[in-house]
Amino acid sequence: MSETTVLITGATAGIGAACARRYAAEGARLVLAGRRADRLQALKESLGGKAEVLTLAFDVRQREAVTEAIETLPKPFAALDILVNNAGLALGLEPAYKVALDDWEAMIDTNVKGLVYCARAVLPGMVARDRGHIVNLGSVAGNYPYPGGTVYGGTKAFVHQFSLALRADLLGSRVRVSCIEPGMVETEFSEVRFRGDKGRAKQVYAGMQPMSADDIADSIAWCTSRPPHLNINTLELMPVAQAFGPFAVKRAGS
């Protein structure tokens, strides 16, 4: 992939950082984006010169910052081949009637608006070059509801439908779109959801084997390495230890 340029958002941890390591190992040119410049620099140094790397510190929730970052990429990095639209988060598990509206807004701003800003910024160049691949990070939460996942699940349902509709808009071009929808992955995800409570976050994965960030990075790399005439529309992944339950029923007296 030495001639391939990959932009990864949310690259400072978890799936984003794992994707950076995976694509670097394959020789791709990397644009690593995130809010924390120190972490981006540490990640760049950890790659040990395996790839050309440009780091960009910006918040995907800031529309103007996203647009400026993409439009002013230096020449070696400007022709983006792959966007891994990974930046996202969940906040809290409170029921809808108790949740803080600020948490809902933060999820919508990041998971929906931030993802859309990044996709829109790279699309004109990809269409003009008649090549490219946008990989949007969804979730099984967008397909299957759970208590406390009201807005997080809603944002990921948007990502799923946005990805399918984007494919429809791009018919006739060779730009591909995939939506990756993981189940339980042990990263900083739960620590962020529970505002740094490491003990509570650890309990989410207690007694079972979740997927790893590297598992998801491997799946993303597989999607983007398919022959150019083939598009993976949606890829849903869950650990073997995670499955489905019956409908919940509230019975009188219980």
Task: Record the tokens describing residue 201, joined without a space.
Answer: 């976050």
Q: Measured between alpha carbons, how far is 137 from 216 in angstroms, rounded to an integer? A: 10
Task: Record the tokens describing residue 100, joined without a space.
Answer: 């803080």
Task: Starting at the earlier edge strand, list the strands of the sheet with 82-85.
Answer: 53-57, 29-34, 5-8, 82-85, 132-137, 175-182, 234-237
Parallel, antiparallel or unpaired: strands 82-85 and 132-137: parallel
Q: Which alpha helices (DSSP H) does the chain contain, by range?
A: 14-25, 37-46, 63-71, 75-78, 101-107, 115-129, 150-169, 189-193, 198-204, 213-224
Confirm whether 152 is a catalytic residue: yes
For 188, other C-beta atoms within 10 Å of its C-beta total 17
Q: Measured between alpha carbons, how far is 53 from 36 in angstroms, rounded to an integer? A: 16
Count Cα neighbours of 10 within 13 Å in the Cβ-side half-sphere: 26
Q: Which of 117, 146, 152, 205 is catalytic?
A: 152
Position 161: which residue type?
Q
Would you please indicate which residues are annotated as catalytic (active-site) residues? Answer: 152
